[in-house]
C-alpha cells in the first residue's frame, strides 16, 4: 500500500457537555487539531441519558450524549472507552455510553456488555488502510471491570505492580488477532495503577503527593508496552497521568507513555488537578506507509484553566458555564510551545528518541532507538 495514512492521536477527553453549544468560539481551534485519515481520543466520562430521567448527578464524570456527538463532529472516529471514569455512573453509565456510540456509528473499544465485548477490537477500513483499535485500563477500576455477566471495561489487573498473567495472555491474544485483521493496530491503555490504593480518595491524594515520580512511567508499564508492540501493536497510546510524558520508538513503532489531556473539564473543586503542566499537552500525527511508520509530528496544545462565569467549588455535580467552557484545547506557540516540547524531548531522551523542534512544532526521528535497560 503506497498511500500515506495519517492517524491523529490525542490524549484524554474529559468533556462534560456539548462544546458546539457551550463554547462555539472554541470549535474551529479544536477541529483544526483533528486531522488525517483517522483520529483517536480517550472518552473519559460516562454518559447519562435524560430520556431515562437521568442527570449529571448520576456520576462524578457523567456527561450527556451530546458530548460524544461533539467529539465526533470535531473529527474523532476512534474512541477508547476503557478508563477509571467509565464506571462513574455504574452499569447504567456503561450501557448509555455504548448505546450512544452505537447510535452515532463512532468506532469504539474497551467497554462492553460483557468481557468478551469489552476486550474485542474495533475494525475500520479507510481508503488508505484498515485500522484496528484495542483499548484497556488499569488501576482505580474498582468494581468497573467487565465480567462474563457484568458490563464494564476491559481491565488489565495490576497485582504487586505487575500485570496479572491471565489478563496479559487474554489481551495479547486480542492484539495478535487485531494484527491479523488490520494493516494498523492502535492499542490504547489508560492507567492509574498505584500500590496500596483501595479507594478513589486515596488515589487522588497519591496523585498529588507522587507528582514528580509520575512524570515517568513505572518499569512494568515500559515492559508491557513493548510486549504489545512485539505482539502486533503499531502504535501504543497510553494515558491516565494528566500530563505529557515521553515517548519511545521500539521496533520502529511509537509508544506514547502519556498523551496527557486533550479536553480537561474537571470540576473546580479538584484542586489536586491544578498543576500548570496538566493544562498543556500535545497532539501527535503519525504517518504510515502500510504498517511502517514514516513520520511523527507533534503539535503543542494548551487548555484554558479559567472558564466563563463563576465556578462552584463546593459541588462537584454542578455542571455550570464555568466548567463547560474550561479545559478546551488550542494550538500554542512561542515560549510555551518551546518549553513544552523541550520537556517532552527531555522525557523521551532516555529511550534514545530524538525530538527535533522546529519553531512551534516538532518531529520525531523514526529509527531504531538505542538499547535501554528495563
Q: What are 201-240's pLDDT values in tens digits?
A: 555 555 555 567 778 899 999 999 999 999 999 999 999 9
The pLDDT tens digits for 317-352 are: 789 999 999 999 999 999 999 999 999 999 999 999
Q: What is the pLDDT of residue 370?
A: 47
| C-alpha to C-alpha distance for 344 and 353, rounded to whole angstroms | 10
C-alpha grid cell, residue 328: 478546551
CB 258 within 8 A of CB 200: no
Q: DSSP states of 233-286 as a string?
A: -SEEEEE-SSSB--EEEETTEEEES-B-EEEE---TT-GGG--GGGGEEEEEEE
Average confidence (pLDDT) over 95-110: 98
Residue 137, classed as helix, strand or coil, is strand
Q: Rounded to 10 degrees, what is the CA torsion of 257, 263, 264, 267?
A: -150
Is pLDDT larger for residue 108 or for residue 204? 108
pTM of the model: 0.94
E runs forming strands in the chain: 4-14, 38-43, 46-47, 62-63, 78-80, 107-109, 111-112, 122-125, 130-138, 152-153, 184-191, 235-239, 247-250, 253-256, 261-264, 280-289, 292-303, 329-331, 355-358, 361-364
Q: What is the CA radius of gyration of the chain?
A: 19
Average confidence (pLDDT) over 257-261: 97
Q: What is the pLDDT of residue 372?
A: 46
- Please, which residues have CB within 8 angstroms of residue 199's CB and are 6 or more apart in sequence? none
Percent of the chain whose predicted confidence (pLDDT) is above 70: 93
Binning pLDDT at 50, 70 and 90, where does residue 1 land? very low
Residue 369 has pLDDT above 60, yes or no: no
Binning pLDDT at 50, 70 and 90, where does residue 270 land? confident
Percent of the chain whose predicted confidence (pLDDT) is above 90: 83
Q: What is the pLDDT of residue 71?
A: 98
- Reference 22, options 278, 265, 262, 330; nearest CA is 265
| C-alpha to C-alpha distance for 79 and 101, rounded to whole angstroms | 9
Query: Cα–Cα distances in Å, from 290 out to 1, 48, 182?
Result: 5, 39, 10
Q: What is the pLDDT of residue 374?
A: 43
Q: What is the pLDDT of residue 206?
A: 58
Give φ, ψ of 323 to 5 degrees. Answer: -65, -40
DSSP label at residue 26: G
Is pLDDT larger for residue 315 or for residue 342? 342
Average confidence (pLDDT) over 261-284: 90
CATH number for the segment(s) 4-364? 3.60.21
- Reference 78, options 54, 56, 50, 110; nearest CA is 110
Binning pLDDT at 50, 70 and 90, where does residue 371 land? very low
Residue 147 has pLDDT above 60, yes or no: yes
Residue 161 has pLDDT above 60, yes or no: yes
Residue 195 has pLDDT above 80, yes or no: no
Q: What is the pLDDT of residue 318?
A: 87
In the chain, what are the domain boundaries? Answer: 4-364
Residue 40 has pLDDT above 90, yes or no: yes
User: Would you put residue 353 in left (φ > 0), alpha (ψ -120 to 50) or beta?
Assistant: beta
Residue 138 has pLDDT above 50, yes or no: yes
**Region of poorest pLDDT, from 97-101, 134-138, 265-269, 291-295:** 265-269
Q: What is the pLDDT of residue 317?
A: 78
Amino acid at each position: 500500500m503506497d498511500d500515506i495514512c495519517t492517524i491523529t492521536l490525542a490524549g484524554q477527553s474529559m468533556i462534560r457537555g456539548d462544546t458546539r453549544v457551550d463554547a462555539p468560539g472554541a470549535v474551529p481551534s479544536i477541529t483544526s487539531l483533528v486531522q488525517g485519515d483517522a483520529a483517536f481520543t480517550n472518552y473519559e466520562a460516562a454518559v447519562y441519558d435524560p430520556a431515562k430521567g437521568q442527570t449529571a448527578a448520576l456520576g462524578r464524570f457523567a456527561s450527556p450524549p451530546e458530548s460524544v456527538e461533539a467529539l465526533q463532529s470535531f473529527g474523532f472516529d476512534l474512541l477508547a472507552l476503557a478508563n477509571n471514569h467509565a464506571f462513574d455512573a455504574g452499569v447504567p453509565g456503561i450501557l448509555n455510553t455504548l448505546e450512544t456510540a452505537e447510535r452515532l456509528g463512532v468506532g469504539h473499544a474497551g467497554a462492553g456488555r460483557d468481557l468478551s465485548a469489552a476486550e474485542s477490537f474495533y475494525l475500520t477500513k479507510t481508503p488508505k488502510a484498515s485500522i484496528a483499535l484495542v483499548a484497556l485500563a488499569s488501576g482505580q477500576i474498582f468494581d468497573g471491570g467487565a465480567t462474563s455477566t457484568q458490563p464494564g471495561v476491559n481491565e488489565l489487573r495490576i497485582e504487586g505492580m505487575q500485570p496479572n498473567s491471565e489478563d496479559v495472555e487474554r489481551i495479547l491474544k486480542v492484539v495478535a488477532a487485531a494484527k491479523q485483521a488490520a494493516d494498523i493496530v492502535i492499542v490504547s491503555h489508560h492507567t492509574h495503577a498505584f500500590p496500596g490504593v483501595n479507594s478513589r480518595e486515596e488515589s487522588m491524594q497519591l496523585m498529588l503527593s507522587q507528582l514528580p515520580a509520575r512524570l515517568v512511567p513505572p518499569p512494568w508499564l515500559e515492559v508491557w508496552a513493548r510486549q504489545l508492540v512485539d505482539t502486533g501493536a503499531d502504535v501504543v497510546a497510553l494515558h491516565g497521568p494528566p500530563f505529557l510524558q515521553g515517548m519511545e520508538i521500539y521496533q520502529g513503532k511509537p509508544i506514547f507513555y502519556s498523551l496527557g489531556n486533550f479536553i480537561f473539564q474537571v470540576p473546580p473543586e479538584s484542586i489536586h488537578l491544578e498543576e500548570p503542566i496538566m493544562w498543556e499537552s500535545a497532539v501527535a500525527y503519525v504517518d504510515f506507509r502500510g504498517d511502517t511508520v514514516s513520520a511523527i509530528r507533534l503539535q503543542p496544545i494548551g487548555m484554558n484553566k479559567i472558564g466563563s462565569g463563576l465556578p462552584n467549588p463546593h459541588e462537584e455535580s454542578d455542571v455550570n458555564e464555568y466548567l463547560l467552557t474550561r479545559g478546551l484545547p488550542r494550538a500554542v506557540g512561542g515560549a510555551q510551545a518551546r518549553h513544552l516540547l523541550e520537556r517532552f524531548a527531555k522525557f523521551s531522551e532516555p529511550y534514545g528518541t530524538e525530538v527535533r523542534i522546529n519553531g512551534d512544532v516538532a518531529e520525531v526521528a523514526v529509527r531504531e532507538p538505542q538499547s535501554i535497560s528495563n
